[in-house]
Amino acid sequence: MPAVQSTFSSNQAAAFLGQIADGEQVTNVISRVVDPATANPISFGDPVLQGASDGTIQSVSGGSGAFRGIAVRDPTLPPSAGDQYVATLTAAVLTKGVIWVNATVAVAAGQPAYVTSAGALTNVATNNTAIANGMWDSTTTIAGLARLRLG
């Protein structure tokens, strides 16, 4: 029988997009269905907006509506989903707590967080929408994985 895996890293990755960063007792995760009318999938760690009807969400990219939270990583999704929530799947959405996301620029702990119209997360206020009670919880020197605190 051939080896299933013949090479591996000696160190695990520090974090993954959409991974809840710690076990704080103030974490809140809700379930919402990805709006069936949406064409844009939602990747782990992406910000999401209210969908067209109650109980639904949609991607910031190409969507409009109130900010609802950040999509949480779900390792139980079918492989065909490609690590994304697609239309009609039920998504886990963090509304309060700390989660790993992709900062599109260098950020510093304590800075306010903003989302662009394309769905990127940043610390730049100009032409972007503030995430209410959102702040960066870690510091990066370049764009990349960072902890975002909601709530």
Task: For residue 102, give both structure tokens.
Answer: 């992709």
Handedness of CA 32, 34, 40, 44 (dihedral sign): positive
Correct CATH for 28-150 of 2.40.300, 2.60.40, 2.30.30, 2.40.10: 2.40.300
The domain locations on the chain are 28-150
pLDDT in tens, the chain (151 residues): 677 778 878 888 889 899 989 877 778 999 999 999 988 999 999 999 999 999 999 999 888 899 999 999 998 888 788 889 999 999 999 999 999 999 999 999 999 999 999 999 999 999 999 999 999 999 999 999 999 999 9
Claim: this prediction has a pTM higher than 0.85: yes
In the chain, the DSSP E strands lie at 28-34, 42-43, 47-50, 56-59, 67-71, 84-85, 90-103, 112-115, 121-122, 129-136, 144-150
